[in-house]
Amino acid sequence: MREFIEFFSFADANIRFVTVGSVLLATSSAVVGCFTLLRKRALVGDAVAHAVLPGVCLAFMLSGTKNPFILLLGAFVTGWLSLITIDFITSRSRIKEDTAIALVLSVFFGIGILLLTAIQHSGNAAQSGLDKFLFGKAASLVGEDLIAFSLVAVLLLVTTILFYKELAMLCFDKAYAKTIGYPVRALELLLTTLTVFAVVVGIQAVGVVLMAAMLITPAAAARFWTDKLSLMLVLAALIGAFSGVSGAYVSYTAPAMPTGPWIVLIVSMIAILSFAFAPGKGWVSRLLRQRRNKTLILEENLLKLLYHLGEEKQDFHLPHSLQQILEKRAIPKKQVSAGLSKLRKQGYIEKTPAGWQLTLQGQRRGERVVRLHRLWELYLTQYLQLASDHVHEDAETIEHIITPELEQRLMEELDYPVLDPHSARIP
């Protein structure tokens, strides 16, 4: 912690340039990446990142200098051209978008490597350090670079805020946006331009190879935490900013460590943690939900089974042995024992010396499950014309997820029936 405070308090100008530059690069690219991700064009960022290399090389060859504004202009031209080429190929031919992306990426990147090799063998002393656009070198950022990147980053963020509503409509309902008169084509070109700018800004920090991760990974991580676009943009920006500061800090404490790859590594770790632990959508949350659903189904099946046994004996409070329960339905003995114990704790069943019996509360819950099962069987036979001996499995599946509202609708649609397709009474 003391080193972290020292990092902000006593760092020299170069460290400040690297830190601020990394934060601006990561934040602006993360915000634009949200729209790219939502439009299902994640691979486009990778294509653009590789396509900017020939632009950087051409700008250097024509100007003879490494002025960041000139290099960024060249990168922007070829990056934007790559997206236009992808759209042209997919709209004018039978080639799918993923194939078009692969073609454009490989061709532009190949040309870039060819030009970079030619520059390196030209003997021009000014070309030193030009290869940082290939692999990234955030530690080499200087004040002039910071000014250029700051202007582009602010432009990206301001444009996103100004056109937030239009870009959101484009991402979620392009057809509706066109119907209400939005200039969809112009908005697509705007988003294309923003994507190219975001990539162009980030390549000097992480290089063309890792730039796609900076564009998409923060957005993917934020998407797991919220379904609200505005909050997603804020979370993605914060994740990007944190990874930028953390990457710069690692380089400060361990000078041999490169800043760009560490930024990507940290944002990737945040994404993995989000994928695992985000509430509602994370792997852990889904596993817990599956486990709860499995437990619920087991409990309701056991209550339904005890209700059926009570129907047969015409006495719902008659105790039944574990063996009778196992014979009635093929459920593993271990699961049955665990399910019965849990239902007993919840007050739905009681254990007597003669066996297990339903409480009044358990009878009501079991009765509802049986009712839902038989209602759904009747619905399938009457409205979908399915044979009565083909509806049991479907009813077994859906009986556990029918809400009280849907139950009432079924009762009304079926005119409050008394018997199911097998002439069994509907409770």
Domain boundary among 200, 216, 232: 216
List pLDDT tens digits, range 277-327: 998 888 999 999 888 888 888 888 888 888 888 888 787 778 888 888 888
- Domain check: are 40 and 182 in the same one? yes
Domain boundary among 216, 240, 269: 216
In the predicted structure, residue 10 carries a pLDDT above the cut 50: no
Please give the pLDDT value at position 163: 92
List pLDDT tens digits, range 340-352: 889 899 888 888 8
Report yes or no on 4 lying in a domain: no
Please give the pLDDT value at position 234: 93
Q: How would residue 130 be classed by pLDDT, with cut points 50, 70 and 90?
A: low
In the predicted structure, residue 13 carries a pLDDT above the cut 60: no
Report yes or no on 264 lying in a domain: no
List pLDDT tens digits, range 387-398: 877 888 888 888
- Domain check: are 64 and 212 in the same one? yes
Report yes or no on 102 lying in a domain: yes
**Structural domain that includes position 136:** 12-216
Report yes or no on 24 lying in a domain: yes
Name residue, tokens 């200098």.
Answer: 65
Q: Left (φ > 0), alpha (ψ -120 to 50) or beta: where does 279 sit?
A: beta
Cα 11 to chain centroid distance, Å, stands at 36
- Domain check: are 65 and 164 in the same one? yes
Residue 282 identity (one-letter amino acid): G
Nearest CA to 24 out of 240, 270, 249 is that of: 240
Helix axes 184-223, 13-38, angle to 10 degrees: 110
In the predicted structure, residue 73 carries a pLDDT above the cut 90: no
Distance CA 164, CA 171 (A): 11
Please give the pLDDT value at position 221: 93
- Domain check: are 398 and 318 in the same one? yes
Name residue, tokens 């609200």.
Answer: 228
117 by Cβ neighbours in 10 Å (0-12 / 13-18 / 19+) ranks as exposed
Distance CA 162, CA 160 (A): 6
Report yes or no on 256 lying in a domain: no
In the predicted structure, residue 257 carries a pLDDT above the cut 70: yes
254 by Cβ neighbours in 10 Å (0-12 / 13-18 / 19+) ranks as exposed
Distance CA 248, CA 257 (A): 10
Contact 343, 302 (CB under 8 A): yes
Distance CA 214, CA 240 (A): 8
- Domain check: are 198 and 295 in the same one? no
CA distance from start to end of the chain: 66
Q: How would residue 222 be classed by pLDDT, with cut points 50, 70 and 90?
A: very high
Q: Which residues contact 156 (CB under 8 A, 6 or more apart)?
A: 28, 31, 32, 194, 197, 198, 201
Name residue, tokens 């409990």.
Answer: 299
- Domain check: are 298 and 185 in the same one? no
Domain of 176: which CATH number?
A: 1.10.3470.10
Q: Quote the number of domains for the chain.
A: 2
Domain of 334: which CATH number?
A: 1.10.10.10
- Domain check: are 80 and 180 in the same one? yes
- Domain check: are 185 and 332 in the same one? no
Q: How would residue 235 be classed by pLDDT, with cut points 50, 70 and 90?
A: very high
User: Which residues make beta-bridge pairs with 248?
Assistant: none
Q: What is the pTM of this model?
A: 0.77
Residue 378 burial (CB count, 10 A) = 22
- Domain check: are 180 and 66 in the same one? yes
Contact 59, 71 (CB under 8 A): yes
Distance CA 304, CA 270 (A): 45
Domain boundary among 191, 216, 241: 216
Structure token digits, residue 144: 């002039």
Report yes or no on 271 lying in a domain: no
- Domain check: are 195 and 59 in the same one? yes
Indicate the SS3 state at residue 1: coil
Name residue, tokens 């990142």.
Answer: 49
Please give the pLDDT value at position 126: 62
Give the range with max mean pLDDT: 39-43, 208-212, 230-234, 313-317. 230-234
In the predicted structure, residue 132 carries a pLDDT above the cut 70: no
Position with higher pLDDT, 230 vs 204: 230
- Domain check: are 187 and 313 in the same one? no
Report yes or no on 337 lying in a domain: yes
- Domain check: are 314 and 212 in the same one? no
Residue 412 identity (one-letter amino acid): E
In the predicted structure, residue 137 carries a pLDDT above the cut 90: no
